[in-house]
Amino acid sequence: MKIKISRPTLYLIILSLLLLIFVVAFSFLVLIPEGKEYRKTRLQLHKENKDLRAFEDFHEQTYQHLKKLQSQNKQVIIAFDNSFSAQKFTKLYATYFSSLQISPQTKIKDDGVFTTYEVNTTSEIRSPKSFYDFLDALNKSDWIIGVDFPINFKRDGEMIHSSFTMKVYNDAKDLNSSK
């Protein structure tokens, strides 16, 4: 039995076999290894997207918490931005004292974030109640001021002489930028 195949058909079969071999070789040598790499990269991308979403959620929560704290502490933030003025302080709080003298500010600490000044004051008051009223008013002032102990009171007839030290806290960034 003799199989009769025409020449163009034989060329077509050989060409088809070569094309099939090329497709199989290309699949095993290029597509399958790249497919494995693609799956690994896709899994890595999914992990990174999950991490990104978690960080974005954390950022949003932190940002909302920051905005809440800023709105709750707006007066304190503004007070840190105000620079201390001895004349304005005397003008505002002289009503609580018979006389009020403030010594010059002394810079005692600059930690890069806040600058702390020490202010020594001497005053005369008629009663301790006016001093406590002064401390209450000081808590609502335009500055962040801490009154340090000891507070010395000395009675002299009808008047009480008092002396105390205050620490005034300012935002260091504003002080440096104005110089």
Q: Which domain holds residue 169?
A: 77-178
Following DSSP, what letter does each residue of the chain receive, concatenated?
Answer: ------HHHHHHHHHHHHHHHHHHHHIIIIIHHHHHHHHHHHHHHHHHHHHHHHHHHHHHHHHHHHHHHHHHTHHHHHHHHSPP-HHHHHHHHGGGSSEEEEPPPEEEEE-SSEEEEEEEEEEEES-HHHHHHHHHHHHTSSSEEEEEEEEEEEEETTEEEEEEEEEEEEEHHHHHHH-
Specify whether 117 is located in the same domain as 169: yes
Residues 61, 89: one domain?
no
Query: Which CATH number is 84's domain given?
Result: 3.30.70.60
pLDDT at residue 179, rounded to an integer: 38
Asked if 128 and 171 sit in the same domain, the reply is yes
If asked whether residues 110 and 33 sit together in one domain, one would say: no
Q: Are residues 97 and 152 in the same domain?
A: yes
Same domain, 83 and 152: yes
Q: What pLDDT score does 112 carry?
A: 58
pLDDT on residue 28: 86
Within this chain, do residues 99 and 142 fall inside the same structural domain, yes or no? Answer: yes
Q: What is the mean pLDDT of each run of 10 residues along the chain (179 residues)?
A: 83 93 89 84 95 96 94 79 72 72 64 63 70 76 74 74 74 49
| Residues 48, 103 share a domain | no
Domain boundary among 72, 87, 109: 72
Task: Mark whether 82 and 67 lie in a shared domain.
Answer: no
| Number of domains, the chain | 2
